Amino acid sequence: MSPSDEPKHPPLRSFGRIKSRAIKPRQAALFDTLLPGIALPDPKSGPIDPAALMPGAAAVWLEIGFGGGEHLAEQAARHPDTLMIGCEPFLNGVGSALRHIDERDLKNVRLHADDARDVMTALPDASLDRVMILFPDPWHKARHNKRRLVQDETAAEIARLLKPGGRLRFVTDWKDYAEWALERFERTPGLVWQAEAADDWRTAPADHVVTRYEEKKLGDTAPIFLDFLRT
What residues are designated binding site for S-adenosyl-L-methionine? 63, 88, 115, 137
Known active-site residue 81: no
Q: Measuring CA to CA, which residue among 122, 179, 114, 112 is closest to residue 148? A: 179
Rg of the chain taking only CA atoms, in angstroms:
17
Q: What order do you get walking across the sheet with 82-87 strand by strand? A: 109-112, 82-87, 59-64, 128-134, 162-172, 224-230, 191-193
Amino acid, res. 78: R
Q: Measuring CA to CA, which residue among 145, 168, 143, 160 is closest to residue 226? A: 168
CB 133 within 8 A of CB 71: no
Which one is catalytic: 114, 129, 137, 176?
137
Would you call 45 helix, strand, or coil by DSSP?
helix
Backbone angles phi, psi at 61, to 5 degrees: -115, 150
Q: Quick one: CA torsion of 92, 17, 67, 14, rounded to 10 degrees? A: -150
For the annotated catalytic residues, the residue numbers are 137
